[in-house]
Structure 1
Amino acid sequence: MTRHVVTVPAAALVAALLAACTPGAPDAASPAASSADASTPAGTATDPEDTGTAGAALAGEPEAFASDLEAPWSLVFRDGVPLVSERDSARILELADDGTAREVGVVAGVTPTGEAGLLGLAVDDDGRLYVSSTAAEGNRVQRYDVTGEPGALALGDPVTLLDGLPAAANHDGGRLAVGPDGMLYVTLGDAGNPADAQDPEVLAGKILRLTLDGEVPDDNPFPGSPVYSLGHRNPQGIAWADDGTMFATEFGQNTWDELNVIEAGANYGWPEVEGAAGRDGFTDPVQQWAPSEASPSGMAQAGGTLFVANLRGEVLRTVPVADPSTSQEHWAGEHGRLRDAVVGPDGRLWVLTNETDGRGSPAPGDDHALVVDLTTP
């Protein structure tokens, strides 16, 4: 079964965009002050305890649970079993209790190039696996039944929910997550064409919201369209607070990387603005960082704290949900580039390293799945 959802009803989306960008119109539920100075960060690193917003925290130092992984990109849990995607090999692995990795399957048709390849994973309540990958025809989202028992898991036949999506050697987005509303969220980068992020007829530079069968939900902000938010350059991580607030991380270009609160129908400005600009019609980030210090990728939430994995910055950032304009840095340079962060069913934080940068350096096989205990207030 193949479902193609690659066009947007332009009339509805254009009308909404024009209304949002009309001078004097209110911003689309911007959580950041519209007067923010774009020359300074929207938030600075402070101690969350100083502001009374302490949440879950790291307890101790991380340990390597699994090693010798090859450019791992996403980690999810299915019935307590950690599953990992490898971008360049197109393999999906299951990790045993002793940290050994076993191949569950190879996703057919993946064409890894640069930062593209086998990317995000998500699991629904029925144990079905959702996979984002780059193929010759473009980016796509597929669903698999998973068969067998732990130690002998296998992939069934794929059901394609989306295909023919914009793709490039970089800026592919690729993060998947099943939200607290039971819907499938998909991040898509601008695929190297910045103007597409503002184009209502192109799905690049958007966050999409779909049913688990790939249909467009009736309550999406733009009738008949899978688009949930737009104006994104390369959103790489999504997570929800306990109250349902949705957050997303985003790679900037040369000025600011971003942490955004995602609202239905909101426009986050790329390429018209990068970082906090205070312009009508565009939603400012709640926090921003210089790209050399960040490249925020996968993100998890636990106990009122966001845990953000950073690639170029080689740090794990903790952000209190109650004050997302602040953050703290951990592990600076100790474990290299960090690709994904996930809270496991065991209550520990799991973090994937990703030393292979998409340009062939260093050699594959240098990456790990790290685990660290968390404390909660």
Structure 2
Amino acid sequence: MSHRTRPLVLAGALALTLAACSGGGDPPSSSGTPASTSGTVSGSEVLADDLDVPWDLAFLPDDSALVTLRDSARIVRIEDGRTTTVGTVPDVAADGEGGLLGLAVSPDVEEDDTVFVYSTTDEDNRVLRMTLEDDGLGDPEPILTGIPSAGVHNGGRIAFGPDGHLYVATGDSGDGSNAQDPDSLGGKILRITPEGEPAPGNPDADSPVWSSGHRNVQGLAWREDGSMWASEFGQDTWDELNRITRGGNYGWPEVEGEGDDGSQFVDPVATWSPADASPSGIAVDGDGNIVMAALRGESLWRIPLTGTGSSVRAGTPERLLEGEHGRLRDVERAPDGSLWLLTNNTARGQPREGDDRVLRVELD
């Protein structure tokens, strides 16, 4: 397997180097190992603890939150300091990195009482629709099946975009060829209707594929300007933050990090050594910056962004909470503007007393 990667940059680099992107019309990328500049937070508050491998979090209109638990296939609700189980998804195969993963609340939930989850089965990864009922969540209904699954690289993040369609991040399931295969749903970001059909305006009207060439996307977020962002696990050299555009090809497995000049592939906006990141969930803070949960890097990275559209620029990332809470799986912006984090120490790493937790932090 060929990987066209940039030369290794020393970990003590003081700034990101801005370079023109490939792939035509996309933002310039920021390359180089980011400096470990330290930002500050206003402290952290534990909202829930003793959770078994929490994976994704989404808020309901009453400001309570739903959380998926990967291995037990449960969905819990966090409200006023209480954690209660509201549903269990059947037929989940919690093998390796698979299990009950992504969670998204319908933008019309007050009318349709609908939430969506992404789960691994013995046959595939799939998207399921569930109904909020007085006594919890109803039985799940599959709306999209056939996403490749394996012990690794299942992707799993799902989120509604500002266009009202559901975006689904998938992994290559350990087979890099899936990412460049237009007939495979693996190694892609998919865009579907709430009924599971290819959304209007997709590059191929008959396909749910929105972008391709991904290794393992686990973070999706949108800025107020409508731009879409995704975090992606690299292999040995570069983890990525990408700005996602319709029909973009992000290069895996031919490229890890930036490609050669003139490449057909879209370059990342920022990259990290996997030891510093191994990124999962991302969110947009109140200032329009990306915040990114890091697993192996045991940090929350804040990536300052300026400009909009094709003129966006990334400044030097700030490393927050380094080592304070261990591995971080997800970050979501709460209705009050704070950030809620999910730790990920019970699945891998060194669990601490009370792990895993939901934390609330505010950035300075």
Query: TM class by shorter-chain length?
Result: 0.7 to 0.9
In structure 1, the partner of 2:13 is none
- Give the SS at the match of 1:196: helix
In structure 2, the partner of 1:161 is 143
In structure 2, the partner of 1:89 is 72
Match of 1:225 among 188, 204, 207: 207
Aligned counterparts of 1:32 and 1:196: Cα–Cα separation in 2? 27
Match of 1:367 among 346, 353, 356: 356
- Give the SS at the match of 2:357: strand
Match of 1:29 among 11, 21, 25: 25
Aligned counterparts of 1:335 and 1:361: Cα–Cα separation in 2? 10
Is the 1:197–1:206 contact (alpha carbons within 8 Å) kept by the matching residues of 2?
A: yes
> For 1:110-142, what per-residue CA distance to the aligned partner results, in whole angstroms no more than 9, with x for missing partners?
010111000000001222111000011210000
Deviation at 1:156, TM superposition (A): 1.4
- Give the SS at the match of 1:197: helix
Aligned counterparts of 2:91 and 2:198: Cα–Cα separation in 1? 26
Deviation at 1:195, TM superposition (A): 1.0
> For 1:81-125, what per-residue CA distance to the aligned partner results, in whole angstroms no more than 9, with x for missing partners?
111000001000001212x31100110110101110000000012
Deviation at 1:362, TM superposition (A): 4.9
Is the 1:42–1:286 contact (alpha carbons within 8 Å) kept by the matching residues of 2?
A: no
Q: Equivalences for 1:1-377 in 2 at 5 Å?
A: 27-32=23-28, 41-42=31-32, 44-45=34-35, 59-79=41-61, 80-98=63-81, 100-127=82-109, 128-148=114-134, 153-278=135-260, 279-303=262-286, 304-322=288-306, 323-357=313-347, 362=351, 366-374=355-363
> Alpha carbons of 1:354 and 1:92: their partners in 2 closer, same or farther (altered >3 Å)?
same
Aligned counterparts of 1:46 and 1:331: Cα–Cα separation in 2? 11
> For 1:148-207, what per-residue CA distance to the aligned partner results, in whole angstroms no more than 9, with x for missing partners?
2xxxx5111222111121000110000000001101000000001011100111110000
> Alpha carbons of 1:167 and 1:325: their partners in 2 closer, same or farther (altered >3 Å)?
farther
Is the 2:342–2:359 contact (alpha carbons within 8 Å) kept by the matching residues of 1?
A: yes
Aligned AA (1:345):
P
Aligned AA (2:228):
M
Measured on the aligned residues, the alpha-carbon RMSD in Å equals: 2.1
- Give the SS at the match of 1:168: coil
> Alpha carbons of 1:32 and 1:357: their partners in 2 closer, same or farther (altered >3 Å)?
farther
> Which has the higher relative contact order, 1 or 2, with Cα contacts under 8 A spaced 6 or more apart?
1
Deviation at 1:309, TM superposition (A): 0.4
Aligned counterparts of 1:68 and 1:290: Cα–Cα separation in 2? 30
> Alpha carbons of 1:364 and 1:116: their partners in 2 closer, same or farther (altered >3 Å)?
farther
Deviation at 1:242, TM superposition (A): 0.7
Listed as ranges, the gaps of 5+ residues in structure 2 are: 1-21, 307-312
Aligned counterparts of 2:73 and 2:24: Cα–Cα separation in 1? 38
Deviation at 1:308, TM superposition (A): 0.5
Identity, % of aligned positions: 49
> For 1:246-284, what per-residue CA distance to the aligned partner results, in whole angstroms no more than 9, with x for missing partners?
110000000000000000001000000100123521000
Q: Under a length normalisation based on structure 1, what TM-score does the superposition of the two structures give?
A: 0.83
Is the 2:45–2:361 contact (alpha carbons within 8 Å) kept by the matching residues of 1?
A: yes
Deviation at 1:30, TM superposition (A): 3.0
Is the 1:74–1:119 contact (alpha carbons within 8 Å) kept by the matching residues of 2?
A: yes
Aligned counterparts of 1:125 and 1:284: Cα–Cα separation in 2? 31
Is the 1:138–1:164 contact (alpha carbons within 8 Å) kept by the matching residues of 2?
A: yes
